[in-house]
Amino acid sequence: MDFKQKNILVIGGSSGIGLSLVKLLHQQNANVYVVSRSASEDWPEDVQYLLADITGNLDSLAAFLPAELHGLVYSVGSINLKPFGRLTEEDFLKDYQVNVLGAARIIQQSIKQLKNAGASSIVLISSVAAKIGMPYHASIAAAKAAVEGLAISLAAEFAAQQIRVNVVAPSLTNTPLAQNLLSSPEKREASAKRHPLGKIGQPEDISRLITFLLSEESNWITGQIIGIDGGLGKIKTS
């Protein structure tokens, strides 16, 4: 895949899946634009970045964005696992704000640039927990199900403008966000075993799929929710 002369915006590109994506896109000659609250020492030198909180004021975004945007990836999220009885209204609102409203606001602010490109691709990130019931996931599963609803609705609304919208839905992936779940050899082994393929995800597993969905090689794919989860979301092996 080659992204020469393609402008791609990665929201949450300073860590985990987003950082892996920034590096991969850069290797493939994209002009990469990143928004996050902090900078990463691992960014290639010519990455353009804006330090901003997606829950706050986004006025600086307009001047930061190029006139044409060929891709937008929203890689911000949360893992807030609690028994249902301990979840507060604030927990639900926060998960919704970070996962759903943040994505909606960024898409609204970038839609002109996405249209200007003639054909473009938006990728949002859900979770296997939006489709497979898991204990303690009520708040994040509700927010990620809303991400999926947002995406398929926008895929329909933007299809005539050749703006594709797809979702990737990972299971547990080895990023800073998931470190609490992977903090001991026992936890890592138990997590790996829950997956039919016997391992957890790596950021590159997810960013490779996102890169494909951004590229013209996927130009007839829109409105899809693609599981990338070591088989957890679809199959049983015993």
Ligand X SMILES: NC(=O)c1ccc[n+]([C@@H]2O[C@H](COP(=O)([O-])OP(=O)(O)OC[C@H]3O[C@@H](n4cnc5c(N)ncnc54)[C@H](OP(=O)(O)O)[C@@H]3O)[C@@H](O)[C@H]2O)c1
Give the binding site for ligand X (CB under 6 A).
12-18, 36-38, 53-55, 75-77, 125, 127, 170, 172-173, 175-178
C-beta of 38: minimal distance to ligand X in Å?
3
Complex with ligand X: residue 56 or 85, whichever CB lies closer: 56
Distance set, CA 14 to CA 83, 125, 126, 146, 215 (Å): 30, 16, 19, 24, 21
Complex with ligand X: residue 75 or 120, whichever CB lies closer: 75
Q: Which residues of 31-69 are buried (b: 16+ CB within 10 A; e: fewer)?
A: bbbbbbeeebeebeeebebbebebeeebeebeeebeebb
Complex with ligand X: residue 30 or 124, whichever CB lies closer: 124
Question: In this structure, are residues 49 and 36 in contact, taking their beta carbons and an 8 Å threshold?
Answer: yes
C-beta of 118: minimal distance to ligand X in Å?
28
Complex with ligand X: residue 12 or 230, whichever CB lies closer: 12
Nearest CA among 238, 217, 216, 236 for reference residue 70: 216
**For residues 140, 203, 113 and 70, what is the CA-based torsion angle, rounded to 10 degrees?**
-140
C-beta of 34: minimal distance to ligand X in Å?
8
Complex with ligand X: residue 58 or 117, whichever CB lies closer: 58
C-beta of 175: minimal distance to ligand X in Å?
3
C-beta of 56: minimal distance to ligand X in Å?
8
C-beta of 161: minimal distance to ligand X in Å?
25
Instruction: Please report the DSSP string for 90-154 in residue order.
Output: HHHHHHHIIIIIHHHHHHHHHHHHHHHTSSEEEEEE--GGGTS--TT-HHHHHHHHHHHHHHHHH
Complex with ligand X: residue 28 or 55, whichever CB lies closer: 55
